[in-house]
Amino acid sequence: MKNVVCVCGHENPVGTKICANCGRPLTEEAKSQKVLDMKYDGSAIRSKTYNKSIIDKVWNFFSSVKVGVALIIITLVVSSIGTILKQEAFVEAGNEAGRAAFYEESYGSFGKLYYNLGFSDLYNQIWYLVLVAMLGISIIVASIDRGIPLHKSLKNQRVRRHESFMKRQRVIAEGTVTTGDSSNTIDAVEEKMKKLNYKVRREGKALLAEKGRFSRYGPYINHLGLIIFLVGVLLHKFPGIYVDESMWIREGETRAIPGMDGYFLENKEFIFETHDNDPTTAQIQQGVNAVAKNYQTDIVLYKQADDAVPGQTDQLEVVKEYSIRVNHPLEHDGYALYQMDFRLNELKEMSFQLTNKDTGVSLGEVAIDLRNPKKEYIIDENIKVELMEYYPDFSGFNNEGAPQTLSPNPNNPAFIFNMITPEHPDGEISFVAIQQTVEPTGDNTYKMAFSGIDTVNMSGLTIRMDKTIPILFVGGFIFLLGLAIGSYWNHRRIWIEQFENGRIRLAAHTNKNWFSIKKDLDAITEYAHLPQYIDQLDDEKETENDEDKKEES
Amino acid sequence: MDKKRKRSIIRGVILAVLVIAIGFTVYSSFTKDKVELLTEGDTAPDFELVGLDGKKHRLSDYRGEGVMLNFWGTWCEPCKREMPAMDRQYDVFKDQGVNLLTINIAQSEFEVQNFLNNLGVDFPTVIDKTRDVMTAYNVIDLPASIFIDPNGKVVKIKTGEMKEADIISHMEMIKPE
C-alpha cells in the first residue's frame, strides 16, 4: 500500500487522519468534521495500516481494543465463576479422587461439572493462564501500536499548521487585535505563555505553545506498570521464587519444613491463652465464654549440614529458638513462618489397667504412646501385655472382617492385645477400641480397662517466601504513577499565527480540562489584546453572538 | 520493500518473545509445582534414611543398579494391594541388579513392621520420620513409585496402584545392561 501524500507534500502512512506536517485533514471523515478528532493526534494506528502477513494478522488481533475488552470481560466472568464454589486448595481431601468426590457429594451435578471444567482449580488451568497471557499480550501490543505513532507525531510537531486544521479545532479565534499596535502581538503572547509555564516554539510570526505533553504518556506508563505486575505474578510459578506452604506439627515432633529445603522444625509447645474475664452478655448470647489472648508455638529451627542429603537428621544444627505468635512470624533467610491454626488435645497416650473382670483387681497399668507404640509392655516377669495389632484411626471392619485404619493419626485408636497373666501364660486375646471390646477367643478372665489419656496440641503454620514483592511493588508504583500522570495533568496546546495584514488566527486543544485552557486563553487574550476565542462545541447561538460581544467590551 | 520487511521482523520478534515467555511460564507451571518438582529425566535427589533393619540406606549407594522407590502408609489400601506383587517381582529382579526400597511416611516402627509381617513381605523398608524425603520427591498422593536407572536418573514416576505387569515392565526399564 502506498503512503498518503498531503497537499503540502508530506508523506503520511496509510490510515493517517491528520497530516503530521501541516495538519490538513486527510480522510473524508476528518474533512467532514467541524472539530477534528484529535485522538492519537490523527496519526495512523499501526495495526490499521497493513494487514497482509500472518504476523500482521496476529498483531492486529491483539492490537484491537475490541479484542482487549473482550479478553478483560471473559477473564472477569471466568474469575467470578471461580469464586462460586471453594477452590481445591481448601478442600481437605488426600487425593484427586477424593477431591472429585467432594465436589459431587457437596454440590451435586453442578459440582461435578464445575470440577470437570476445571473451575475448582482455576489458577492452575492451562486455559486460564493462556487467557491471562493473551490479555498481557493485548496490553503490550496495543500500547506499542498506539504509543509509538503518537510519540512520533508529538515529537515532530510543526509550529505552523494549515487553516483547515486550525479551523477544525474546538477552540478557535480569528480577527485583529482589539486595541493598540499589532506588530508585537506574537512577542507579547510568547512572553505571557512562558510566564504561564508553556513551552513555546516560534517560526517567524507563528507560535506553538505547549504544556503537559508528558500527560499523553500516562496510559502507556500505566500499562507498563500493569505488565511488570503481571510478570511478577507469573514469576510465582517458578521454583525458588514463591513459596506458600502449610504444615501441621505436633508438640514434640520434628518435621522437615515444606518449601524450605534443608530446614527442620521442632514444636516444643503450643500455647493457647484466653483473657481471664467474666463472660459479657454478648459473649453469653453467642455461646462464647473465652476471648483468645495468645496463640503461640515455641519452636526450634534446625538446619542440615551443607553436604547432607534429605532424610539425614543425625547432624542437625540449631539455627534458632523462637516463639511464633500471631503477627510475629519466625523469619529466616527470606522465609517467614506464621501461626495460622491449631488443634487442641489430640490423643497422644492411652492408659489401661490390666484388670481381673471378676474381682476388679488391677495387675498393673500400661501406657501406650499412640505415635510410637511398642511391641510389648512388661509389668513383671509373669505379667505382660503384647500389642498384636494397632489401628490408629479405626474405621470398622472390611469384607474379610479385618479391622481398618483410615489415617495414620490416632483419632480413634483400636488395639488387639494379648494379655499374659499367671492364670493364662499363653495369653488372652482382646480387641479394644473406644467403647468397644471384642473377645474373639471366648470369655476372657482379664480385660484392658481404660484408665486415662494424655493429649498433645497441634500447631498449624504456613511457610511463605516471595521474591517478587519488589517487582509487584515497582509495578504497582509505576501503574499508579501512570494513572496520576494521565489523570491529573493534561496536554494543552495553543497555535497562533499572524498574517501579513495583521490578522490573527488562534486554535487551542487540550486532551481534557477545557476549563483550564480557557483560563489560560483568557489571560493571553487580555494581555495581548487577542480577538475573543469561541468554543465550536458550544451552542450555535453563542458563537454567533460572539462578534457582538467583542464590540461591546 | 525494506521498511515492510523490517516491520514484519520487529513484530515477529516481539510476538515471538511474548509467546516464548508465556509458553515457558505455562509449561513450567504444569510440569512443576511451586517448589521444584521431580520429573522424569531428572537426577533423583539423594537421601539417607534408617531402615527397619537399623541400617542407613543411602540412594547413592545403589549407583550402577536400578532402584524402585515406593512411598506408602499402612492406612493406604491401594499401597497394600500392590505390595505382594512388588515383593514377588523384587525376588525375581534383585539378582538382575534391580533394588526395591519402600519408604513409609512417618509411622512407628511397630506399625510398619507389623503391617509387613501380616502381609508376609520382606523387601527393604525405611521410615521417613521427618517427611523430608517425601517433600524432596514431592510426593502428595500415595502410593507413589519412582523408578531410577543405574545412572541415578528418574525413568518413571507412577502415582497410584500398579498392576504386576506395570511393575515388571518398569523394572525392566531400570535393569543395568
At A15 the pLDDT is: 78
Whether residues B68 and B129 share a domain: the answer is yes
Q: Which residue on chain A is closest to B5 by alpha carbon?
A: A53
Whether residue B43 lies inside any domain: the answer is no
- Looking at the structure of chain B, the number of domains it has is 2
Q: Which residue on chain A is closest to B126 by alpha carbon?
A: A311
Cβ within 8 Å, pair A408-B105: yes
pLDDT band (50, 70, 90) for residue A549:
very low
At A434 the pLDDT is: 83
- Chain B residues within an 8 Å CB radius of A407: 75
- Chain A residues within an 8 Å CB radius of B4: 50
Q: Which residue on chain B is closest to A370 by alpha carbon?
A: B108
| Percentage above 70 pLDDT, chain A | 94
Q: Which fold has domain A159-212+490-552?
A: Double Stranded RNA Binding Domain (3.30.160)
Whether residues B27 and B62 share a domain: the answer is no
Cβ within 8 Å, pair B140-A407: no
pLDDT band (50, 70, 90) for residue A49:
low
CA distance A401 to chain B (A): 14
Cβ within 8 Å, pair A313-B129: yes
- Average pLDDT over chain B, rounded to whole? 85
Whether residue B37 lies inside any domain: the answer is no
Whether residues B118 and B67 share a domain: the answer is yes
Contact A31, A51 (CB under 8 A): no
Give residue-wise pLDDT tens across range A115-143: 988 888 888 788 888 888 888 899 999 99
- Chain A residues within an 8 Å CB radius of B133: 310-311
Judged against a pLDDT cut of 90, whether residue A484 lies above it is answered with yes
Cβ within 8 Å, pair A374-B110: yes
End-to-end Cα spacing for chain B: 60
At A547 the pLDDT is: 47
Q: How many helices (H) and strands (E) does chain B have?
A: 5, 7
Amino acid (one-letter) located at B48: E
End-to-end Cα spacing for chain A: 54
Cβ within 8 Å, pair B136-A310: yes
**If you average pLDDT over residues B6-10, what whole number do you get?**
81
**A130 interfacial to chain B (CB closer than 8 Å):** yes
Give residue-wise pLDDT tens across range A246-257: 888 999 888 889
**A237 interfacial to chain B (CB closer than 8 Å):** yes
At A22 the pLDDT is: 82
Judged against a pLDDT cut of 60, whether residue B149 lies above it is answered with yes
Residues in chain B: 177
Judged against a pLDDT cut of 70, whether residue A364 lies above it is answered with yes
- Chain B residues within an 8 Å CB radius of A240: 36
At A552 the pLDDT is: 42
At A1 the pLDDT is: 52
At A548 the pLDDT is: 47
* Residue B23 or residue A320, greater confidence: A320
CA distance B106 to chain A (A): 9
Grid coordinates standing for B135? 517433600
* Residue A9 or residue A485, greater confidence: A485
At A50 the pLDDT is: 57
Cβ within 8 Å, pair A242-B46: no
pLDDT band (50, 70, 90) for residue A550:
very low
Whether residues B116 and B161 share a domain: the answer is yes
Whether residues B135 and B80 share a domain: the answer is yes
Give residue-wise pLDDT tens across range B85-117: 999 999 988 888 899 999 999 898 899 999 899
**If you average pLDDT over residues A431-439, what whole number do you get?**
83
**If you average pLDDT over residues A343-369, what whole number do you get?**
89
Nearest to B130 among A126, A144, A264 (CB): A264
Judged against a pLDDT cut of 60, whether residue B36 lies above it is answered with no
Whether residues B153 and B72 share a domain: the answer is yes
Grid coordinates standing for B3? 521498511
Report residue A348 CA to chain centroid gap: 41
Give residue-wise pLDDT tens across range A191-242: 999 999 999 999 888 999 999 999 999 999 999 998 898 888 878 777 778 8
How are beta strands B98-105 and B66-72 bridged, if at all? Answer: parallel
Whether residue B40 lies inside any domain: the answer is no
E strands, A357-413, are: 362-369, 376-378, 384-391, 394-397, 403-405
pLDDT band (50, 70, 90) for residue A485:
very high
- Average pLDDT over chain A, rounded to whole? 86
Whether residues B65 and B113 share a domain: the answer is yes
Grid coordinates standing for A527? 494581555
Whether residue B36 lies inside any domain: the answer is no
Whether residue B150 lies inside any domain: the answer is yes
**If you average pLDDT over residues A528-534, what whole number do you get?**
90
Judged against a pLDDT cut of 50, whether residue A543 lies above it is answered with no
At A329 the pLDDT is: 93
Whether residues B87 and B6 share a domain: the answer is no
Q: Which residue on chain A is closest to B111 by alpha carbon?
A: A390
Distance, in Å, from the CA atom of A295 to the CA atom of A341, rounded to the nearest integer, reads 9
Secondary element (H or E) of residue A443? none
The 3-class secondary structure across A60-121, one letter per residue, is HHHHCHHHHHHHHHHHHHHHHHCCCCCCHHHCCCCCHHHHHHHHHHHHHHHHHHHHHCCHHH
At A553 the pLDDT is: 39
Q: Hey, which residues 395-434 in chain A have their CB within 8 Å of chain B? A: 405-408
Give residue-wise pLDDT tens across range A386-432: 999 899 999 888 887 788 888 888 888 999 999 998 888 888 888 98
Cβ within 8 Å, pair B35-A259: yes
**B18 interfacial to chain A (CB closer than 8 Å):** yes
Q: Is the dihedral of CA A247, A248, A254, A255 positive or negative?
A: negative
* Residue A44 or residue B164, greater confidence: B164
Check residue B43 and report its DSSP letter: B
Q: Which residues contact A150 (CB under 8 A, 6 or more apart)?
A: A40, A41, A43, A216
**If you average pLDDT over residues A513-542, what whole number do you get?**
85
Q: Hey, which residues 70-109 in chain B have their CB within 8 Å of chain A? A: 73-75, 105-109
Q: Which residues contact A17 (CB under 8 A, 6 or more apart)?
A: A25, A26, A27, A29, A30, A36, A37, A42, A43, A44
Distance, in Å, from the CA atom of A374 to the CA atom of A396, rounded to the nearest integer, reads 23
Distance, in Å, from the CA atom of B81 to the CA atom of A70, rounded to the nearest integer, reads 51
Cβ within 8 Å, pair A408-B74: yes
| 3 state SS of A439 | coil
Residue B8's domain comprises 1-31
Q: Is the dihedral of CA B94, B99, B100, B103 positive or negative?
A: positive
At A475 the pLDDT is: 94
| Percentage above 70 pLDDT, chain B | 92
CA distance A539 to chain B (A): 46
